[in-house]
Structure 1
């Protein structure tokens, strides 16, 4: 018997409201396997997309799974939305790393567009690519289009005229220019790694996508060796980058971005970079999606708030004027047993607050969606 099967056989499945950190069963009584994911609303139905995790590896052995729900509590398994490929050398070959899938709907094309972080099989985290796929129905099947680095040969809007001579000299000063020294960090802020990756394109790891009120979509991802966030505008069909992008918090070591907008202000919750181990969530705000972004203290309140309640941000779901913070409790020894944290976001003096609660009722939020 597999680890997760043994877990399921000994657990009583009766989902009562939202219980962060508990085992969440689908319609088959099986723990939902949709990690690092996001939720898309289509009419009165919600679709949850996420990484399928195996019992013993975090590599992608199946692909991106999809579940649907009318009430955000009871979930029906809809199958594998994007399957990994068994073709040797495929970008999404079985055994690659495929993380943080998010789906958005394009009203102009009628297509559902999935973006995700992709690492090529056998290369660890060296590739640092985005992946994009499209479908005619929310549940798929999705057709893989391409993967790659972001905006090759283009400078970010807020780093238009860097001193590339100085940055080249800094890169060539290895090993005497040591990582994490104040001098090294200053070069990072000036764009040393942006310049290093200029020709081949910017690194793209932990990521999300966001559609603004005007219909424009954006790709938000951890870049520059996870030291700097970047926000890149997408084309009208949401399947490629336009070339306009910005750097956010250079050298700040942020990943796991989750973005939302409230009363005209953009908010972004992120995490630090500590591998699978939880850390203290960060929060940023801006009046424009291209910034400037201001960092604020963690929004989390309650037991283990300094470790984001043991989880890591993945998405913020909007329900009318209400918002739900979504995070993952990773269990790398048994990846399929990773758990989910969903908590309501409240506001204190206009600032988001995520307060821990053992169990809560989401139906009141659904009435206002």
Structure 2
């Protein structure tokens, strides 16, 4: 049974410690990997402790397989140094090279870069083959990797920071860019610019789920659909239309996983970054207020915040401890081409054909 937002323990009884994650299936085993936030308490400069992985046969019970891409605490220049803001790793398998290819995003003071690692096995060891790259010369934020199941073509979908969304084709080995790309969803800036793209295929069409740009604070997710990954994309609006708090049920989607044994089950894998004691986002009052603060702070012209709102914002920023962040897995349902997510306090795979 899935219980979104509740603390999810692995089979040893410890909280699952990965975020910005994705699920890959190999044979009869599922692998869930992501950035390791075990040591990211907000009290020091540790942003991550490498990339961690869990395995499962049923998606409910997960075994800790350890850190598959280790941090490099002795080398402050490394993209894997714990103080460098590495997150949202994505791993794909290249059928031609027989390599697993992992791209990571690293946020810097002036730009957001990419580094690439490869391995012969999903669980590693991984070798750094390209580092601190500006994709096509762009500062590149959150991203997803897409592999065409028919042609094998690889594409990266990424946020050109505070601007728009870029779809950029990868070279045959998935470790670089061909140069061919397209731009979509232009926005005037934060908080409306789209980030955290999560791509999936369904019935021959491409879908893209994205969030707004409000740091760790939840905001309304949106969906879009296209016949071709380079567009044109049709925007479908709010992905969580029944959520009156406008916070995507206090979560941010990192990826979408199609269950191989179910006819039409797509699972949105999301992070609940904020887990504040006594602050129930589902009640609506606090979460709606936080979103209104962001809308005011980034409005053009900028709107002045009240002293009370300023104090709340300061308290929330000081309270972020991602070592305690949770997970929200919810099924997508479809009205024609339009995906929707509704709140379920608990649900199971057995409900689906």
Question: Shorter-chain TM-score: what band?
Answer: 0.7 to 0.9
Alpha-carbon distance between aligned partners in 2 of 1:204 and 1:35, rounded to the nearest angstrom? 19
Question: Displacement of 1:127 after TM fit?
Answer: 2.8
Deviation at 1:261, TM superposition (A): 1.2
How far is the alpha carbon of 1:305 from its aligned partner? 6.1
**Aligned counterpart, 2:155:** 218
Residue 358 (structure 1) shift: 0.5
SS at match of 1:288: coil
Q: What is the DSSP-based 3-state SS (H/G/I as helix, E as strand, rest coil) of the residue aligned with 1:307?
A: coil
Unaligned runs of 5+ in 2: 275-318
Deviation string for 1:23-42 (max 9, x for gaps)?
Answer: 11112211111101111111
What are the residue-to-residue correspondences of 1:1-369 with 2, within 5 Å?
Answer: 17-53=1-37, 54-57=39-42, 59-85=46-72, 86-119=74-107, 123-124=108-109, 126-152=110-136, 201-214=137-150, 215-223=152-160, 225-251=161-187, 253-304=193-244, 306-320=246-260, 321-331=264-274, 333-363=320-350
Deviation at residue 145 of structure 1 after TM alignment: 1.9
Question: 2:306 is matched with which residue?
Answer: none
**Residues 72, 362 of structure 1: 8 Å contact kept:** no
Q: Name the SS of the counterpart of 2:97 in structure 1.
A: coil
Q: Distance in 2 between matches of 1:62 and 1:151?
A: 24
CA deviation after TM superposition for structure 1 residue 91, in Å: 2.8
- CA RMSD, Structure 1 to Structure 2 (Å): 1.8
Q: SS at 2:238's partner residue?
A: coil
SS in 1 for 2:248: helix
Structure 2 SS opposite 1:72: coil
Render the CA deviation track for 1:270-325: whole Å, top value 9, x for unaligned.
00111111000011111100001121111214445621000111100012442111
TM-score scaled by length of structure 1: 0.76
Asked whether the equivalents of residues 34 and 51 of structure 1 are also in contact (C-alpha less than 8 Å), the reply is yes
Larger deviation, residues 300-309 vs 131-140: 300-309
* Structure 1 gap segments, 5+ residues each: 1-16, 153-200
Using the TM superposition, give the Cα deviation of residue 148 of structure 1 relative to its aligned residue in structure 2, in angstroms: 3.4
CA contact (8 A) 2:236 2:338 kept: no
Distance in 2, Cα, partners of 1:284 & 1:248 = 11
